[in-house]
């Protein structure tokens, strides 16, 4: 074995350029595959993180504008959601709908505490809204059922607004009274600051907001969680039935898709997952073709090696060398070159991914309203890196097998005459 390795070492030293070109093709293929997968994972992880703001099994319903006439009513009518829509949502679709909530929006609210004041948007909500929007409470609590029943004047402030009202200790605002216009509200909760979204919405009980601002039976949005809708087809069928029921309540055509708008986060998540899967597959295809170029390079170099050493192999066979020994020389050389340079390419690819993680992975883009990240964990698992390298070594070995068999079968007289 030692003699074999020494012989391969001498061959490599005599053909440095050829070996370097072979090694570069192998290392480049591994390097590009790992870097492409790392960059792709970083972008995909960032998109998934930025879109992970609501629970997937939830929908939000908006009033729209009719797109066609119905029952003598003209098209273009604006549809406003009301208590009848909430009742329909609560009672007619119990086989799929779990919990229902409503939202009332009131912009331009000025909240005052002592000499400090902030501007924000009031949002009348139900307790379920905290679960749907994945609201995290830093201190105190969120709106509860008792607040809804008793129409309490309580608020849940975002942490950044609480900091403006009480700079030294924003969480000490719990239990303090603040003025909203001319009315007094008690702060019962502080939302944990989330820099990936706008933090100007102040939550209050839905019933309190409706009473104060004389909204009657109106609601701006309906939200609910659901179960039992596992496929895109099931979600489409449910949306069709649900939209028909609400359209009937507002004297709109059953098939009018503009009268009621439905934002289904489950189908959105499914479409996002499909898109991410396509991107991942595309990256793998590009990377594997790059890897294939390295394998082809190894095969070509081995063919050249056999051609250059044809006379040498003829002499070896003439003095008693077996076909197996010649086969072993070429295959071992192919394995060593592929393994060494494959490892170098893997190591460089991992280093570049770690560099991207340390730089782009921690970079935050501030839009002024919210912050977002473009890269999140742009790396490839060590198992994937090692697996790809092993695949390349095996492929490089198989690539060297064809010329090796050719060399092993050559007749001494033909080799000496070539």
Predicted confidence (pLDDT) per residue in 276-315, tens digit? 888 888 878 887 787 777 777 777 776 777 777 777 777 7
Whole-number Å distance between alpha carbons of 302 and 185: 81
**What size, in residues, is the chain?**
418
Give the per-residue pLDDT at 367. 54
The tens digit of pLDDT for each residue in 194-206 reads: 765 667 789 999 9
Nearest to 114 by CA among 167, 156, 73, 76: 167
Give the per-residue pLDDT at 414. 65
Terminal C-alpha separation, the chain: 30
Give the per-residue pLDDT at 97. 93
The tens digit of pLDDT for each residue in 139-157 reads: 999 999 999 999 999 999 9
Whole-number Å distance between alpha carbons of 187 and 192: 14
Give the per-residue pLDDT at 23. 78
DSSP state of 168: S
Give the per-residue pLDDT at 156. 94
Whole-number Å distance between alpha carbons of 180 and 192: 21
Contact 192, 203 (CB under 8 A): no
| Beta-bridge partners for 178 | 185
Find where tokens 């009672």 sit. Answer: 91
User: How do the domains of the chain map onto residue ranges?
Assistant: 2-52+270-417, 58-264
For the chain (length 418 residues), average pLDDT per consecutive 10? 65 71 80 84 76 82 91 89 93 92 90 88 92 89 94 92 88 91 92 72 93 91 92 92 93 91 89 82 80 73 71 74 76 79 86 82 60 71 79 74 72 65
């Amino acid at each position: 074995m030692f003699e074999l390795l020494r012989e391969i070492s001498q061959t490599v030293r005599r053909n440095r350029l050829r070996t370097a070109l072979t090694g570069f093709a192998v290392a480049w293929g591994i390097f590009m595959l790992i870097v492409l997968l790392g960059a792709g994972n970083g972008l995909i992880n960032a998109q998934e993180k930025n879109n992970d703001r609501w629970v997937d099994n939830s929908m939000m319903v908006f009033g729209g504008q009719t797109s066609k006439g119905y029952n003598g009513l003209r098209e273009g009518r604006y549809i406003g959601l009301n208590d009848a829509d909430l009742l329909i949502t609560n009672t007619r679709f119990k086989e799929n709908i779990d919990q229902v909530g409503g939202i009332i929006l009131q912009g331009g609210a000025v909240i005052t505490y002592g000499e400090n004041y902030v501007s924000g948007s009031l949002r009348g909500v139900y307790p379920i809204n905290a679960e749907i929007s994945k609201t995290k409470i830093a201190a105190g609590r969120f709106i509860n059922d008792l607040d809804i029943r008793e129409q309490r004047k309580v608020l849940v402030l975002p942490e950044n607004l609480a900091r403006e009202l009480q700079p030294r200790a924003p969480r000490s605002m719990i239990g303090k009274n603040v003025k909203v216009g001319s009315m007094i509200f008690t702060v019962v909760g502080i939302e944990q600051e989330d820099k990936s979204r706008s933090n100007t919405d102040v939550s209050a009980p839905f019933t309190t907001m409706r009473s104060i601002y004389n909204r009657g039976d109106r609601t701006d949005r309906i939200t609910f969680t659901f179960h039992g809708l596992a496929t895109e087809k099931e979600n489409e069928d449910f949306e069709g039935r649900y939209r028909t029921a609400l359209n009937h309540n507002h004297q709109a055509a059953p098939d009018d898709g503009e009268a009621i708008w439905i934002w289904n986060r489950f189908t959105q998540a499914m479409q996002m997952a499909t898109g991410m899967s396509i991107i991942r597959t595309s990256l793998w295809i590009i990377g594997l073709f790059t890897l294939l170029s390295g394998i082809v390079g190894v095969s070509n170099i081995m063919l050249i090696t056999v051609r250059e050493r044809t006379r040498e192999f003829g002499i070896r066979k003439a003095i008693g060398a077996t076909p197996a020994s010649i086969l072993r020389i070429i295959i071992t050389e192919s394995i060593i070159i592929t393994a060494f340079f494959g490892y170098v390419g893997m190591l460089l690819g991992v280093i570049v991914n770690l560099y991207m993680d340390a730089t782009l992975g921690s970079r935050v883009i501030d839009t002024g309203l919210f912050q977002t990240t473009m890269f999140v964990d742009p790396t490839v698992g060590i198992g994937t890196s090692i697996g790809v390298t092993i695949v390349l070594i095996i492929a490089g070995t198989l690539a060297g097998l064809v010329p090796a068999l050719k060399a092993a079968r050559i007749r001494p007289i033909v080799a000496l005459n070539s």
